[in-house]
Amino acid sequence: MVVEQRVQLTVTQNELLNTQTLLYTMEDENDALHTEMAVLKTRLAAMKTRLASTETEVVNLKKEITDQPKVAFSVGLGISGYIASGSTEQNLVFTKIFSNVGQAYSSVTGFFTAPVKGVYYFRFNVMDNSPSRYMHIIMYKNGERLMLIGEGPQGYPNYVSSGMTLQLEVGDVVNLRLYPNNTLYDNSENHNIFSGFLLFTL
Note whether 21 and 91 are same-domain residues. no
pLDDT for the residue 155? 60
Tally of domains within the chain: 2
Domain hosting residue 54, numbered range: 1-67
Note whether 56 and 84 are same-domain residues. no
Q: Is 161:123 a contact under the CB 8 Å cutoff?
A: yes
Note whether 88 and 184 are same-domain residues. yes
More confident residue, 38 or 172: 172
Rounded distance, CA 34 to CA 75, Å?
Answer: 70
**Contacts (Cβ under 8 Å, ≥6 apart) of 174:** 111, 112, 114, 120, 122, 139, 140, 141, 166, 168, 196
194 strand-pairing partners: 75, 124
pTM for the whole thing? 0.69
The alpha-carbon radius of gyration of the chain (Å, integer) is 39
Rounded distance, CA 77 to CA 79, Å?
Answer: 6
Residue range 161-171: average pLDDT?
A: 97
Q: What is the CATH number of the domain that holds 167?
A: 2.60.120.40
Angle at 112 between CA 167 and CA 194, to 5 degrees: 100
pLDDT for the residue 166? 98
Note whether 117 and 49 are same-domain residues. no
**Neighbour tally for 142: CB within 10 Å:** 12
Rounded distance, CA 107 to CA 97, Å?
Answer: 8
pLDDT mean across residues, the chain: 89
Confidence of residue 30 (pLDDT cuts 50, 70, 90): confident
Note whether 147 and 96 are same-domain residues. yes
Helical ranges in the chain per DSSP H: 2-67
pLDDT for the residue 175? 98
Note whether 141 and 128 are same-domain residues. yes
Note whether 49 and 76 are same-domain residues. no
pLDDT for the residue 133? 78
